[in-house]
Amino acid sequence: MQLFSELAAEGKTVVMVTHERDLTRFFTRSITLADGAIIRSGNE
């Protein structure tokens, strides 16, 4: 996660897909999908 944070700080786009909700504390944006549809998107 440190590496991903550093890359993002350098202006690089980092996309991570996970089922681990506790990792969202590292993200600046989160998109939640359910059955292939976006159900929540934003800086939550």
Query: How far is residue 28's CA from residue 15's CA, in Å, rounded to a whole number?
Result: 11
For residues 26 and 1, the answer to whether their CB atoms sit within 8 Å is yes
Alpha helix segments (H runs only) across the chain: 2-9
Extract the tokens encoding 12.
Answer: 């690089």
Strand partners, 33: 38
The string of pLDDT tens digits covering residues 1-44 is 999 989 999 999 999 999 998 988 888 888 999 999 999 887 75
**Which of 4, 24, 20 lies closest to 12 in space, CA to CA?**
4
